[in-house]
Amino acid sequence: RQAQYRRLRNKPSISRDGVDISLQLNAGLLVDLPAVAESGASGVGLFRTELQFMVASAFPRMSEQRDYYRQVLDAAGGRPVTFRTLDIGGDKVLPYLRAIQEENPAMGWRAIRFGLDRPGILRTQVRALLHAAAGRDLKLMFPMVTEVAEFHRARGVVERELKHLRRHGYPVPERLMLGVMIEVPSLLYQLDELFQAVDFVSIGSNDLFQFFSAVDRGNTRVAGRFDTMSPAFLRALKHIVDKAKAYATPVTLCGEIAGRPLEAMALAALGYRSLSMSASALGPVKAMVRTLDVGRLATRLLPRLDEPAAAADIRGFLRAFASDT
């Protein structure tokens, strides 16, 4: 199996009916980086910057962050890297940051909420990223955005840093693209405003499903109770990709479902053309893409989304379709 996936490394990720599905990697530590070149991924779709902070014993300094990001960009060898600003809080705890007791940490003071309330930390990180990407492209996105206004404030931080670097004669990125992670359901009702503001979006389906279904992603009693392949969730995902297309905004999906062949197959049929996943998932997903007839699956799958969930039995349908192919 592994050898078979290795052979696919340099083969294009194109479906049988000619649909190009870009496959990228989720990464967060330097040890993940050799996989970027080895796996044949087209880039890093999600770089989780909090991992450097989680393995450190104190807040990494600006220079340490800068050097780290530079190594990431070097290892990617010109392939695009999408950095996500610090996503701490919730289940991601920093031992040196005094823990605050919260009843519902997943819905608490985390991610961009923390970043906007502690602008010094966000500013330092943004400065490190701008330095690291001098003369190259920088793609940067913000986690757990609930209102478009938060994106505007975060963008303000980036623009002020950029101005500061220019004023002091530092080289800056050649191109800067700013995006938002769609992982809070409220954004589904702000898509027009959102797509007019951002350069790209990435769907964090782990958190989006957690909040969509009110089901703790880490609680084994309930985590398996509801299906990501339910018509309701798939309608939500389709709504996002349709809107993104209407605004010509690039959209990637970087949650766990992107790395599962059956789910990735459904995502392709919904219209997703860019998926980001762990390195070990890339081979199996590429193997699926290369045997898939996206058009044929879409024709059969999409009408099912309008049926009641039990009758639609999307997962059963996908399994039958896959074994048919």
Positions touching Mg ion (CB under 5 A) are 183, 204, 207
Does 205 participate in binding ligand PEP (rule CB under 6 A)? yes
Does 115 participate in binding ligand PEP (rule CB under 6 A)? no
Task: Residue 48: name its binding partner from ligand PEP, Mg ion, none (Cβ under 5 to 8 Å by kind).
Answer: ligand PEP
CB closer to ligand PEP out of 124 and 205:
205
**Cα–Cα distance for residue pair 297/269, rounded to 1 Å:** 6
Of the candidate residues 40, 43, 204, 284, the single one contacting ligand PEP (CB under 6 A): 204
CB closer to ligand PEP out of 195 and 212:
212
CB closer to ligand PEP out of 15 and 49:
49
CB closer to ligand PEP out of 141 and 191:
141
Does 255 participate in binding ligand PEP (rule CB under 6 A)? yes
Instruction: Tell me 185's DSSP state.
Output: G
Task: Residue 72: name its binding partner from ligand PEP, Mg ion, none (Cβ under 5 to 8 Å by kind).
Answer: none
* Closest separation in Å from C-beta 163 to Mg ion: 30
Site string for ligand PEP, 225-254 (x = CB under 6 A): -----------------------------x
**Cα–Cα distance for residue pair 278/163, rounded to 1 Å:** 35
* Closest separation in Å from C-beta 291 to ligand PEP: 26
How does 126-156 read in b/e, with b if 16+ C-beta sit within 10 Å? bbbbbbbbbebebbbbbbbbbebebbeebbe
**117 CB burial (10 A radius; 0-12, 13-18, 19+):** exposed
Query: Which of the stretches 198-206, 226-234, 279-287, 291-299 binds ligand PEP when contact is defined by CB under 6 A?
Result: 198-206
**Cα–Cα distance for residue pair 227/312, rounded to 1 Å:** 13
Does 146 participate in binding ligand PEP (rule CB under 6 A)? no
**82 CB burial (10 A radius; 0-12, 13-18, 19+):** buried
Does 89 participate in binding ligand PEP (rule CB under 6 A)? no
* Closest separation in Å from C-beta 144 to Mg ion: 7
Which residues on neighbouring strands pair with residue 139, listed in sequence order? Answer: 82, 177
HEC secondary structure over 28-96: CCHHHCHHHHHCCCCCEEEEECHHHHHHCCCCCCHHHHHHHHHHHHHHHCCCCEEEECCCCECCECCCC
Does 183 participate in binding ligand PEP (rule CB under 6 A)? yes
* Closest separation in Å from C-beta 54 to ligand PEP: 11
Which residues on neighbouring strands pair with residue 25, listed in sequence order? Answer: 44, 277
Do 259 and 285 meet the contact criterion of CB atoms below 8 Å apart? yes
CB closer to ligand PEP out of 256 and 313:
256
CB closer to Mg ion out of 15 and 274:
274
State the CB neighbour count (10 A cutoff) for residue 190: 17
**169 CB burial (10 A radius; 0-12, 13-18, 19+):** exposed
Q: What does the binding site for ligand PEP look like in residue numbers (CB under 6 A)?
A: 46, 48, 87, 183, 204-207, 254-255
